[in-house]
Copies of this chain bind each other. A is one copy, B any other.
């Protein structure tokens, strides 16, 4: 049994950093493990254009420098709304945005300006296809009449339609949670991929509402059935380059989780790679961690793979109950690998 595990520096291709004090507080946990991260644009004041991209990247770069991680590279995105113009896309690309994120209206944190009619974003998607910007979809139907557990499955028709209409657009279905979504992404052409989070590899709906109510396991899309979790685990460890890590680590203050109307999101940044190492090793596929965390994502984004490495050490540690005022995933439980 190996006691050290060295791997290429990983990328987190779905990360919420928020801004201001929260950004400075949470960034170091990601930067200790990841060389790059795709930064989500649904901040309280959303990232919508080239100016927002530059300002937000400056904030992140400053926080990275200030916390001793000058090498950390944020991959920037803008939010695609029904009002995003082709010109906005082209300027955002010039400013360094590599992706545009599409939210279904009202279905998750800060998505009130999201999309209801996907045809309204076809001009933006056309511009993205032309200039090589990725389209990232929060894959749930924006139709408020769709039952919560069916929202992801109902989105697949939209995904197929867009993938067919824009064959050269690189599309990522973010944080897949169902066996149906995994099958759909597998069946679509090579321009469609998916991210898988850490927490969806561990949780089912039973961990949210099956015993007492667990607000720190509540996220969007909500965790599904045991068979869905198994499908995600198989996809993540299969070696299929369509599936790669995007943690969707999403910090909320404890007061916004343990309250009468709780925010969706799970703060996995402090535990992401060690916990994945533990899980992959239990599945006897520790070697598959490299491509899942450090290979396939960069390839799909047309980025060079990272040249640096990280090393994990086999050593039990107990996850703190709280970081600042944010309760992390796996709080109070033990992990058998830690970062060197």
- On A, residues with C-beta under 8 Å from B are 106, 147-149, 204-206, 208-216, 218, 222, 225-226, 257-264, 327
Which B residues are in CB contact (< 8 Å) with A259?
Answer: 258
Bound-state CA distance A222–B206 (Å) is: 11
Q: Please report whether the interface of chain A is mostly helix, strand, loop or mixed according to DSSP.
A: loop
Which B residues are in CB contact (< 8 Å) with A213?
Answer: 213, 215, 218, 257, 261-264
- Taking a contact as CB atoms under 8 Å apart, the answer to whether B226 and A260 are in contact is no
- Taking a contact as CB atoms under 8 Å apart, the answer to whether A147 and B258 are in contact is no
What is the total number of copies of this protein in its complex?
2
Chain B residue nearest in CB terms to A151: B210
For residue A98, give the distance in angstroms from its CB to the closest CB of chain B: 31
Bound-state CA distance A154–B218 (Å) is: 25
For residue A68, give the distance in angstroms from its CB to the closest CB of chain B: 31
Which B residues are in CB contact (< 8 Å) with A206?
Answer: 147-148
Bound-state CA distance A148–B208 (Å) is: 10
Which B residues are in CB contact (< 8 Å) with A147?
Answer: 204-206, 210, 225-226
Given contacts A216-B260, A327-B260, contact A208 B205 (CB under 8 A): no
- Taking a contact as CB atoms under 8 Å apart, the answer to whether B260 and A215 are in contact is yes
Which B residues are in CB contact (< 8 Å) with A258?
Answer: 258-260
For residue A225, give the distance in angstroms from its CB to the closest CB of chain B: 6
Chain B residue nearest in CB terms to A215: B213
Chain B residue nearest in CB terms to A331: B260
Bound-state CA distance A218–B217 (Å) is: 15
Query: Which of A209, A214, A258, A262 has most B Cβ within 10 Å?
Result: A209
Bound-state CA distance A210–B206 (Å) is: 15
Which B residues are in CB contact (< 8 Å) with A204?
Answer: 147
Bound-state CA distance A213–B264 (Å) is: 7
